[in-house]
Chains A and B, each alone.
Chain A
Amino acid sequence: QLQLQESGPGLVKPSESLSLTCSVSGDSITSSNSYWGWIRQAPGKGLEWIGNIHYSGTTNYNPSLKSRVTISVDTSKNQFSLKLNSVTAADTAVYYCARHGQQLVYSYFDYWGQGTLVTVSS
């Protein structure tokens, strides 16, 4: 059974960078040829797609966040990561990593991590 688990600091200071890692277990990140994504949900708000990455390193980002986001992959560790620069309180959210369900650049999400709350505060 495929499992995803987010890890990283739960508290980040304004103007600094948020960094999270998603560890994938139960299968190789390269085997399904899928894209792997990040989604967030701010308190009281809906879901927002941040971006995704293929194990080859190809990335796609939400235009509204593109200038601040970098997603990378480490196939040797079966992980992919998110870095969001210059954070503000508006970036406070539960961050999820997830697998896109089919071998499409954009797809639905069939496996999700449990999510991790990141608070931006001084």
Chain B
Amino acid sequence: DIVMTQSPDSLAVSLGERATINCKSSRSVLYSSNSGNYLAWYQLKPGQPPKLLIYWASTRESGVPDRFSGSGSGTDFTLTISSLQAEDVAVYYCQQYYSTPTFGQGTKVEIK
């Protein structure tokens, strides 16, 4: 299995400030034949199913605000919320789909 490790486990950010979440995979999730990074990001709020935010490491899902962005390649990835809003309070997960899907342990984002 590819192990996904997120950092930090939690972070508190002031409204309007930037939030950055890191995700590291134990093996590269970059598929050389198509140059695709098999990495997605989800937002999970209590009582709701996970919401897909980003796939292919940097492609924003339709309807997702542009304050959410994904970057990185190979083994190191980042989810950035450029200007934190109150509705962004949630737990965020990365997921690799290069092989048997696995998720990071989650990062809890709160308001400072």
Chain A residues packing against B (C-beta within 8 Å): 37, 46-49, 60, 62-63, 96, 98, 101, 104, 106-110, 112-115
A-B pairs with lowest CB-CB distance, top 6: A112-B49, A108-B40, A49-B101, A47-B103, A106-B97, A108-B55
B residues in contact with A37, CB < 8 Å: 101
A residues in contact with B105, CB < 8 Å: 46
Question: Closest chain B residue to A60 by CB distance?
Answer: B100
Excluding A47-B42, A106-B38, A113-B49, 15 further A-B contacts by CB distance (< 8 Å) are: A47-B44, A47-B50, A47-B93, A47-B106, A49-B101, A49-B103, A98-B49, A101-B55, A106-B98, A106-B99, A108-B40, A108-B95, A109-B50, A109-B95, A112-B50
Q: Is the interface of B mostly helix, strand, loop or mixed?
A: loop
B90 to chain A, nearest CB (A): 13
Question: Closest chain A residue to B97 by CB distance?
Answer: A106
Interface pair A62/B100, CB less than 8 Å apart: yes
B residues in contact with A107, CB < 8 Å: 97
Chain B residues packing against A (C-beta within 8 Å): 1, 38, 40, 42, 44, 48-52, 55, 61, 93, 95, 97-106
The answer to whether residues A110 and B61 also contact, given A46-B93, A47-B93 and a CB cut-off of 8 A, is yes
Number of A-B contacts (CB under 8 A): 55
Question: Closest chain A residue to B52 by CB distance?
Answer: A110
Interface pair B52/A109, CB less than 8 Å apart: yes
B residues in contact with A113, CB < 8 Å: 49
Question: Closest chain B residue to A96 by CB distance?
Answer: B49
A104 to B101, CA, bound (A): 12
A112 to B101, CA, bound (A): 16
B67 to chain A, nearest CB (A): 20
A40 to chain B, nearest CB (A): 11
The answer to whether residues A46 and B50 also contact, given A107-B97, A108-B40, A110-B61 and a CB cut-off of 8 A, is no
